[in-house]
Structure formats: C-alpha cells, structure tokens
C-alpha cells in the first residue's frame, strides 16, 4: 500500500441516504496509513496517494491537477502534511468542495523540532475546514484546546475494524509453530522501541517456548535493525526473534490470524495503534503500552498493559501469554467487542455527517 509510485484506488461505490459520494476523494502524501486505506474503503471513497519527499513539490502539483481538473463533493485529507491542508483549503472555496481533515497525532502533537517546524505554521488552517476527525477521545480534547474548533465541526472517528483476508498463506520467512509466536506489527518508526521490546522478550519466561516475530520494512530504520541483530546475537537469541521485513498482505494476515498474541503499542501519547485494531479483528490477545490514551480507551482493568520501566513488559508477557493466558484471552475478547461497538457507532455518525456536509 505504500509503494514508490503514485496510487489511485477507486473504492466500491456506496450510497449514504441515497447520495452517491464516489466523486469524493481521500488524499494522502508521502506515506499511506492503514487507517486511511481502510477508512476510504469503508466510506467508498476514491483514494489518491502520492509518495514524495518532504519538499512535496510533486505532491502539491499532482494534487492541484486533481482538484482543479475534476469536480468533487468532499475532499478528505490525511494529515500531518500541513501543505496538503493549506492547498486543499485554498482551493475549496473556488472549486466548491467541502474539506474533511483526518488529524493524525504528529500534526497536532509534534514530538520533535522537525515535526513542530513542518506542522505548526499550518495548524491555523484547521479553522477553515468543514469537519475535523480525531482518532480517540484524548486526542479530540487536545485538538479542541490547541485550535478552539467548536464541537459541531469535530468528530471522533475510530479506525474501521479491518477486514482480514479470508484466504492467507504462510510466509517462508517464519519456519516455526505459529501458535507459539508473539507478533509485533512494526512500522519501524521512532515511537516503537523495538530494541527494548526485544530485550524484554529475551528476558521473559515466554521466550523459552515462544518466538517474537517483528514484521515491517526494517529498511526504514537500518540503525535500529542493526542494533536488534546485534542484541539478539549477543544474548544468544538466534531463532527466538524473527525480523520478517516487508510482507504481502496475505502473508502478513496469516501471521496475525495464527499467532498467540499481538504486541501493539506506540510510545507517543494520543496515539491508538492500528495493529491493535487488527488484533481486535482476529480475536487475539493484545499487549499494549499503558499510555493515558490507551488506559482511557481500553479501560484500566485490562490485564495486559505494560510500562516503559525495565521488567514491566517481561512480566506482562509472562502473565498474558504463559501463566494466565486464558484469562488474558477472555479479557481481550470483551474489550474487542467494546472497541468494535465504538468503531461502528462512530462510523455511522460520520456517514450521517458526510451526507449533511456534502449537501449544504
């Protein structure tokens, strides 16, 4: 979904209250999030993705051609790319389309100087969009505090529960009993401390008869990949940790469907990892970092939270995959049903508002 060439996908047509919105589009620059892919498919929107470098010259030109050359009812925007927001807002009045900004954490909550410089100047454009989408309750509150956007132009929309492929195939990269694997679906971004996770797993009782599988394109972070390889070798963990690299969807979903548990976490506050929704879709126990966002959304009674303190993940792994696996599994099923209900309710509200926005 995130190759080097431009991607245009026309999703299956859907109708909301009798209105056809296939002339609406969801635009993403540089990197296509799985949330955007599934949300555009759920809403029946055309998906227009342009990979580009941070100067965004090609992306801005291709977006201008798209929005100037065709009539759209609604244009959805995957942030954090501030120039995309500015360009779409500037064109919206002249071309007569409505704008919906799907605000990912990095846009409104920068955690580095680079993120701050790239996004802060464009935050004011959120005041001019027709609808702002937040991903979780605490993030919605943060956006309100930082921008002053009124409640009537803000909507909390959880990720759609992914539709997992019914036909999958095993990967030749993983030659172990899948029922003994604990999977971390990694993006290899800075908010995923994969070296810490690897060290904690190798220290755990779970590592005696389980294997840690870390998916994702490690080419995005070669230095972290080298550190993990060195750590595994030093600790004598060969065969206990598998780094798969990029996997096609049918192989990736095979791993998620047949593993024992999923580690789904981000060290960034206000972030709800998409991998957790994949665990929800497949009914797998999920082990996650206890940020305030996750505690708020999942509930503090869930038994498989961990902290960044040394030994915390090791203890959680042992509790939720070895000592009390059945209890952890039952707790995850209950929480999964609650999260599915949240997702479905928020998507129904979004469909209703899309109709209202598109017909004003």
Rounded to two decimals, what is the model's pTM? Answer: 0.90
**pLDDT 10s digit of each residue in the chain, 360 long?**
433 344 454 443 343 334 444 588 999 999 999 999 999 999 989 999 999 888 899 999 999 999 998 889 999 999 999 999 999 999 999 999 999 999 998 898 877 787 777 788 899 999 999 999 999 999 999 999 999 999 999 999 999 999 988 899 999 989 999 999 999 999 999 999 999 999 999 999 999 999 999 999 999 999 999 999 999 999 999 999 999 999 999 999 999 999 999 999 999 999 999 999 999 999 999 999 999 999 999 999 999 999 999 999 999 999 999 999 999 999 999 999 999 999 999 999 999 988 776 544
Domain regions of the chain by residue span: 7-157, 178-340
- What is the C-alpha to C-alpha distance for residues 182 and 202, in angstroms, rounded to an integer? 12
CB 355 within 8 A of CB 319: no
The CATH number assigned to the domain with range 7-157 reads 3.40.50.2000
Residue holding tokens 């080097």?
4
Tell me, which fold does domain 178-340 have in CATH?
A: Rossmann fold (3.40.50)
């Amino acid at each position: 979904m995130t190759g080097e060439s431009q991607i245009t996908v026309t999703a299956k047509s859907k109708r909301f209250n009798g209105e056809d919105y296939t002339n609406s589009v969801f635009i993403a620059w540089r990197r296509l999030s799985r949330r955007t892919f599934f949300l555009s498919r759920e809403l029946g929107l055309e998906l227009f993705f342009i990979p580009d470098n941070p100067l965004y010259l090609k992306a801005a030109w291709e977006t201008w051609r798209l929005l100037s050359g065709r009539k759209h009812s609604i244009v959805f925007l995957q942030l954090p790319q501030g120039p995309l927001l500015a360009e779409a807002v500037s064109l919206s009045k002249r071309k007569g389309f409505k704008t919906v900004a799907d605000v990912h954490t990095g846009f409104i909550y920068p955690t580095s100087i680079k993120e701050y410089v790239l996004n802060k100047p464009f935050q004011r454009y959120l005041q001019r969009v027709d609808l702002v989408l937040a991903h979780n309750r605490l993030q919605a509150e943060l956006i309100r505090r930082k921008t002053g956007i009124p409640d009537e132009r803000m909507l909390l929309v959880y990720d759609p529960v992914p539709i997992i492929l019914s036909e999958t195939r095993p990967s030749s990269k993983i030659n172990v009993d899948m029922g003994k694997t604990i999977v971390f679906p990694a993006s290899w971004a800075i908010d995923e401390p994969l070296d810490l996770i690897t060290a904690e797993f190798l220290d755990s009782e779970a590592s005696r008869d389980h294997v840690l599988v870390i998916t994702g394109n490690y080419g995005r972070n070669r230095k972290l990949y080298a550190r993990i390889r060195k750590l595994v070798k030093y600790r004598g963990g060969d065969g206990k940790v598998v780094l798969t690299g990029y996997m096609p969807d049918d192989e990736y979903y095979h791993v998620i469907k047949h593993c024992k548990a999923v580690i789904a976490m981000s060290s960034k506050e206000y972030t709800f990892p998409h991998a957790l929704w994949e665990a929800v879709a497949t009914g797998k126990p999920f082990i996650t970092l206890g940020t305030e966002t996750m505690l708020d959304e999942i509930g503090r009674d869930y038994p498989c939270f961990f902290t960044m303190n040394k030994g915390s993940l090791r203890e959680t792994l042992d509790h939720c995959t070895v000592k009390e696996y059945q209890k952890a599994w039952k707790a995850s099923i209950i929480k999964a049903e609650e999260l599915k209900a949240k997702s479905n309710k928020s998507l129904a509200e979004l469909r209703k508002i899309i109709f209202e926005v598109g017909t004003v």
